[in-house]
């Protein structure tokens, strides 16, 4: 649980960065219709959640530094016993102040009358332009209401600034409370991967293994942080495979990329293992390359190293391995220079992880890769994918797809792997799978 005072601290920090003459406006995520009267499961907007911890739709947060009657203002739905009988309890404006710690709260239905008055006299508006067209239009309407009163002395804002620069830099550095939740999220996902390994056997369908993942997530109150990828055999070579409905074949590998979400914080784990519990020689040869690349990369996730260093470590290890195996020819340096590995390894080695699976934050500053700092969390996920129709590759390697992905915290010292509870050594995987009944 993130405490009330941590949300308040984030809001204060953002206001300090925005300046005394600014206003910050952030909207809650809208509810989204899936089809006819059925909705997608509601997921709060990550930025709104980060600043408010408030879980309802139809809400807007306004941060107004120095405002006498309170700086952090929430517009939200009012209590409504009739509606609450259908949709469940609402916090309401009084609860927003007494339970959630906002300085002031107003009914969302009154926002058109109140927000222009909060914008008036502020020089800069910080806002996510272009994220929600409907809300963009409302904001333009509120600003125009202020402009219309210029001759009466109203002072409209002069600058409109993208909120992401400030806010997403804050989100990049995880607090102790956030790291606790991310560890919990990774533990649940790791348990789900272990359960999936133990359930897998030839003849099952990919969706039956997916069900094991979902069972473990929900048992612990988590939801998937993205649609799980459960790809047997050559399906593992489809990077965003989502069908999850093919039978699992004896002798194939199974790639599972699945993460949990706990109080909006994501984990993101991939493991690849044999459907029948034993790697073949070819599978093992490729697997050991990916594992060596992943371990080399994790070792680069240290404060002071460039964000790109761990990708380069993975690429170098993979290229060496492919040369040794004969899937690439020539010198190491020439292959690296020409990115020859891209035929088999076509994605980057990782991304920021946090409230979003592909979390926010710039990867470069002034064109240069950013330097890792304590509190940042990344995934480390090298892979090898030999397409079923790959040219110039011995047939025995074709159709093998492997990825190994862990969640790693940059600390003051050694990298901290949040997802270490699920085995990735060949021996450990085979031992775990040998326990299957």
Task: Give which of Mn ion, ligand GLY, none residue 226 binds (C-beta under 5 to 8 Å, depending on kind).
Answer: ligand GLY
Nearest approach in angstroms of CB 270 to ligand GLY is 6
Residue from 56, 210, 261, 405 carrying the catalytic annotation: 405
Q: Please give the Cα distance from 366 to 436 (Å, whole number).
A: 52
Residue from 257, 300, 356, 406 carrying the catalytic annotation: 257
Residue from 302, 385, 406, 407 carrying the catalytic annotation: 385
Cβ atoms of 39 and 31 within 8 Å: the answer is yes
Q: Which lies closer to ligand GLY via its Cβ, residue 71 or residue 359? A: 359
Go through the chain and tell me how many residues it has. Answer: 437
Q: Which lies closer to ligand GLY via its Cβ, residue 160 or residue 226? A: 226
Among 56, 178, 210, 268, binds Mn ion (CB under 5 A): 268
3-state secondary structure of 343: helix
Counting beta carbons within 10 angstroms of the beta carbon of residue 330, is it exposed (0 to 12), middle (13 to 18) or buried (19 or more)? exposed
Residue from 10, 351, 356, 359 carrying the catalytic annotation: 351
DSSP string, 346-372: -S-S--B-SSSSS--S-SEETTEEPBP
Site residues (CB under 5 A) for Mn ion, limited to 388-417: 405
Task: Say whether residue 300 binds ligand GLY (CB under 6 A).
Answer: no
Candidate ranges 2-10, 86-94, 152-160, 268-276; the one touching Mn ion (CB under 5 A)? 268-276
Tokens read off for 381: 């996920």
Q: Is-catalytic flag, 109? A: no
Q: Please give the Cα distance from 97 to 105 (Å, whole number).
A: 7
**DSSP H or E stretch at residue 292:** helix 281-298
Q: Which lies closer to ligand GLY via its Cβ, residue 53 or residue 415? A: 415
Q: How many CA atoms lie within 13 A of 375 on its CB side?
A: 11
Q: Please give the Cα distance from 288 to 282 (Å, whole number).
A: 10
Cβ atoms of 102 and 73 within 8 Å: the answer is yes
Task: Say whether residue 356 binds ligand GLY (CB under 6 A).
Answer: no
Nearest approach in angstroms of CB 352 to Mn ion is 10
Task: Say whether residue 164 binds Mn ion (CB under 5 A).
Answer: no
In the DSSP assignment, the letter for residue 341 is G
Residue from 11, 403, 406, 407 carrying the catalytic annotation: 403
Among 359, 381, 406, 407, binds ligand GLY (CB under 6 A): 381
Q: Is-catalytic flag, 351? A: yes
Q: Which lies closer to ligand GLY via its Cβ, residue 212 or residue 257? A: 257
Among 71, 208, 257, 263, binds Mn ion (CB under 5 A): 257
Place of tokens 């391995």: 321
Task: Say whether residue 257 binds ligand GLY (CB under 6 A).
Answer: yes
405 phi/psi in degrees, rounded to 5: -130, 130
Residue from 151, 240, 337, 437 carrying the catalytic annotation: 240
Among 118, 379, 382, 397, binds Mn ion (CB under 5 A): 379
Task: Say whether residue 226 binds ligand GLY (CB under 6 A).
Answer: yes
Q: Is-catalytic flag, 311? A: no
Q: Is-catalytic flag, 193? A: no
Nearest approach in angstroms of CB 268 to ligand GLY is 5
Task: Say whether residue 407 binds ligand GLY (CB under 6 A).
Answer: no
Q: Is-catalytic flag, 347? A: yes
Residue from 16, 39, 342, 358 carrying the catalytic annotation: 358
Sign of the torsion formed by the C-alpha atoms of 387, 389, 391 and 394: positive
Q: What is the CA radius of gyration of the chain?
A: 25
Cβ atoms of 384 and 343 within 8 Å: the answer is no
Q: Please give the Cα distance from 395 to 390 (Å, whole number).
A: 9
Residues labelled as active-site residues: 37, 240, 257, 268, 347, 351, 358, 381, 385, 403, 405
Binding site for ligand GLY (CB under 6 A): 226, 257, 268, 351, 357, 381, 405
């Amino acid at each position: 649980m993130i405490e009330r005072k941590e949300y308040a601290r984030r809001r204060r920090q953002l206001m300090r960065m925005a300046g005394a003459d600014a206003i910050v406006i952030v909207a809650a995520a809208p509810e989204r219709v899936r089809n006819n009267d059925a909705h997608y499961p509601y997921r709060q907007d990550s930025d709104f959640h980060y600043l408010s911890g408030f879980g309802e739709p139809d809400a807007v947060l306004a941060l107004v530094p120095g405002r006498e009657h309170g700086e952090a203002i929430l517009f939200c739905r009012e209590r409504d016993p009739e509606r609450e009988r259908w949709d469940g309890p609402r916090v309401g404006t009084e609860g927003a102040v007494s339970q959630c710690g906002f300085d002031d709260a107003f009914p969302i239905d009154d926002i058109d009358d109140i927000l222009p008055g909060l914008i008036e006299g502020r020089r800069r508006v910080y806002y996510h332009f272009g994220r929600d067209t409907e809300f963009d239009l409302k904001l333009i309407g509120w600003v125009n209401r202020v402009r219309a009163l210029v001759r009466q002395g109203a002072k409209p804002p002069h600058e409109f600034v993208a909120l992401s620069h400030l806010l997403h830099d804050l989100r990049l550095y995880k607090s102790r409370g956030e790291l606790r939740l991310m560890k919990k999220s990774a533990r649940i996902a790791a348990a789900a991967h272990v359960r999936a390994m133990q359930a897998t056997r030839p003849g099952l369908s990919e969706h039956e293994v997916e069900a094991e993942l979902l069972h473990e997530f929900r048992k612990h109150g988590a939801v998937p942080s993205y649609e799980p990828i459960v790809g047997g055999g050559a399906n593992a070579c489809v990077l965003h495979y989502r069908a999850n409905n093919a039978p699992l074949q004896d002798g194939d590998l199974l790639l599972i990329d699945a993460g949990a979400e706990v109080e909006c914080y994501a984990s993101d784990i991939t493991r690849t293992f044999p459907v029948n519990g034993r790697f073949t020689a070819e599978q093992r040869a490729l697997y050991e390359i990916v594992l060596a690349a992943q371990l080399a990369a994790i070792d680069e996730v240290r404060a002071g190293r460039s964000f790109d260093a761990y990708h380069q470590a993975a690429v170098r290890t993979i290229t060496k391995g492919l040369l040794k195996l004969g899937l690439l020819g020539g010198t190491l340096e020439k292959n690296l220079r020409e990115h020859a590995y891209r035929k088999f390894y076509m994605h980057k080695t990782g991304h920021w992880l946090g409230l979003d699976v592909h979390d926010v934050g710039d990867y470069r500053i002034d064109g240069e890769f950013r330097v890792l700092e304590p509190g940042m969390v990344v995934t480390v996920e090298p892979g090898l994918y030999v397409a079923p129709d790959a040219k110039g590759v011995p047939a025995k390697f074709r159709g093998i797809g492997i990825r190994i992905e862990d969640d790693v915290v940059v600390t003051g010292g050694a990298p901290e792997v949040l997802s270490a509870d699920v085995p990735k050594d060949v021996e450990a995987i085979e031992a775990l799978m040998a326990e299957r009944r």
